Amino acid sequence: MKRLSLRTDNKQAVIDETINVLESGGLVIFPSDTVYGLLVDACNKQAVEKLIEFKKRPKGKPISIFTSGLDMIEKYACVSDDQLARLQRILPGPFTVVLPSKHKTSLLLESEKGTLGVRYINFDLVTALIKQFGRPTTATSANVSGRAPHHSVSALLNSINAQQKNLIDHVVDAGQLPHNEPSTVIDYSQGDLTVLRKGSGKIGTSSNHENKKTKNQKGTKSIVSKSPRQTYEAGKSLGDYIVQTGEPATVLLYGDLGAGKTVFVKGIASAFGIADIVSPTYVVLYEYEIKGQKLKSKNKKEKGTNVKNDELQITCKRNVNTFVHADLYNVQDEEEFEHIGLSEYLAGHNVVCIEWGEKIKSKGKIAKGKKEIEVFIRQLDAHEREIIIA
């Protein structure tokens, strides 16, 4: 086992030596954006078997891979154009994305469903290594399966036995790593996005490099709001656009509690002359008359009265009927989705704004062919918000 200390002046030498070990089928301890990881050539079955032996990991339990970018992700996993566009907004970042595998890596890394977890992280040393290596490595924590990961090499070596130490070929020691949260795990294997594990990655976040790309992407807009009023105005601008099109639309909002999703919806609603929007967290859904008078609300136990389309005073084109605001924070299962009747609103000629949009999208309820707008709100600090509209 060779141990190298990482310094600012020897990064390229560390990468070169690490690649030599990987190409010979060796097992490497390497720093990452979260903890120390175990790296082997992801395309080398014998190397993967060695890693599994070290971790004492049951076969059939999937292991993710590190990639150097979206091009490599496309090479080793199946990803649609729509999915790729969305991944461009969050990667590189602290995410593990589960996608259908193209089976070009060792099959031992895949799940029983044939999916593969891929990572493209905002950690230059790993990205440079993978880019120069030319193919993915494994991306799993350097620990025995079921035990805590390690933020220092010394802690790792003190936790394993002599047999495991003999399996290690190369160690890159970057000192004590910061105690960052684990990655957020996203399942994209079924077409829709589902968060399997919440971690440090928030939907809608991206690196500064990717933010610059986002601003230039056709149909995508990035805004920095410095106050609730500016968040409101950003929502109103989107609402004005929807009014001008006169077409039904579904607006999916993503962001943490307190990010400003309801304030943004209030801005959208103001474009339709609606001024009394309230958060529907505890009643799940409100429907509003376009001129501003609330018509009905629904909770999980009772349904409101039906309203005929000819009773609505519509201030935009006649093919938009009502404005619906839903907050799915407290909705957990399929039965609740059916009870609140949201599918009917999504299928109709309505403008529907949905907070915690990942829940309804993961259920496959969005009507095909209907205009769909995604709004990602990320808290930069106590006052500033990054708003991405796509």
**Structural domains of the chain sorted by starting position, each given as residue range(s) with its CATH number in brackets:** 2-197 (3.90.870.10), 208-389 (3.40.50.300)
Q: How far apart are CA 110 and CA 282, in angstroms?
A: 40
How confident is the model over 154-205, as pLDDT tens digits? Answer: 999 999 999 999 999 999 999 999 888 888 888 988 877 788 877 777 664 4
Question: Which residues, other chains included, contact 47 with Cβ-Cβ below 8 Å and sequence gap of 6+?
Answer: 22, 25, 26, 27, 40, 41
Please provide the DSSP assignment of 264-308 as one string: HHHHHHHTTT-------TTT-EEEE-TTS-EEEEE-SS-------
Residue 362's pLDDT is what? 59
Asked if 224 and 380 count as a contact pair (C-beta separation under 8 A), the reply is yes
Sign of the Cα pseudo-torsion (290, 291, 295, 299, in order): positive
Higher per-residue confidence, 76 vs 292: 76
Residue 331's pLDDT is what? 75
Decide: pTM greater than 0.75: no
Best mean pLDDT range from 93-97, 128-132, 174-178: 128-132
| Among 109-118, 232-241, 302-311, the least confident range | 302-311
